[in-house]
């Protein structure tokens, strides 16, 4: 089993968040950070931070904490694959454009190389530096560009059929921004982001 498969999904999620925060501090001379400081920033326990970092083979210095540059590098070596990973965004409406803009500004190896839509006013144009193709070319373009990850920001009524087409095209991971439940095969890694559920969860706990 590969090293990434040994890590729980929630650990990988936290490692990604640690790294994005640590980018802000990496240029400080001899920059270090303690587990309790990281824990405070993410509202978790120092023990959880230490467990996460021990899983990737890192222990802190009791006097100085974790070396930030070394920590960023180790997290990258653990959760990143070699080179950039090609991503497609399907549905380039207001939400799709916002998601695309956020990713393009982020420091990540996730590289959106294609967008797809059914709107003739959008296809064959470039949006935020990404070419937009007609939806009927998904299979061809996904295979040509070796895309394995798709972000789904289509209207709910199109979600199920689009997910089927993505699986047939060889997509292995889907980030689903629609509110629709998707039945995918066991070899597809599906991550749902449901804004309404998240809001209702916050409403309940406050």
Is the per-residue pLDDT at 1 higher than 50?
Answer: no
Q: Please give the average per-residue pLDDT across 14-35, as a whole number.
A: 87
Show me where the domains of the chain are located.
Answer: 3-78, 85-198
The answer, as to whether pTM is greater than 0.95, is no
- % the chain with pLDDT above 70: 96
Angle between helices 35-42 and 9-22 (to 10 degrees): 100
Angle between helices 46-55 and 9-22 (to 10 degrees): 100
Is the per-residue pLDDT at 98 higher than 50?
Answer: yes
Buried b (16+ CB within 10 A) or exposed e, 56-80: bebebeeeebbbbbebbebbeebbb
Fold topology of 85-198: Rossmann fold (3.40.50)
Is the per-residue pLDDT at 57 higher than 50?
Answer: yes
Fold topology of 3-78: Arc Repressor Mutant, subunit A (1.10.10)
What six digits make up the tokens of 101? 């803009």
- % the chain with pLDDT above 90: 71
């Amino acid at each position: 089993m590969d090293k990434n498969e040994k890590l729980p999904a929630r650990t990988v999620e936290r490692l990604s968040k640690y790294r994005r925060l640590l980018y802000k501090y990496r240029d400080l001379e001899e920059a270090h950070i303690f587990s309790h400081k990281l824990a405070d920033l993410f509202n978790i326990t120092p023990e959880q931070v230490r467990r996460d970092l021990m899983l990737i083979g890192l222990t802190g210095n009791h006097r100085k904490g974790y070396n930030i540059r070394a920590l960023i590098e180790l997290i990258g070596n653990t959760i990143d694959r070699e080179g950039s990973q090609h991503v497609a965004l399907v549905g380039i409406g207001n939400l799709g454009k916002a998601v695309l803009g956020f990713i393009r500004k982020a420091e990540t190896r996730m590289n959106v190389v294609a967008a797809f839509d059914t709107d003739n006013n959008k296809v064959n144009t470039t949006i935020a530096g990404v070419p937009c193709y007609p939806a009927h070319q998904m299979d061809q373009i996904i295979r040509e560009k070796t895309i394995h990850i798709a972000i789904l920001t289509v209207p709910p009524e199109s979600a199920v059929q689009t997910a089927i087409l993505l699986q047939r095209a060889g997509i292995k991971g889907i980030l689903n921004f629609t509110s629709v439940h998707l039945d995918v095969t066991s070899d597809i890694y599906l991550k749902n982001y449901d804004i309404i559920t998240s809001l209702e969860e916050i409403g309940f706990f406050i």
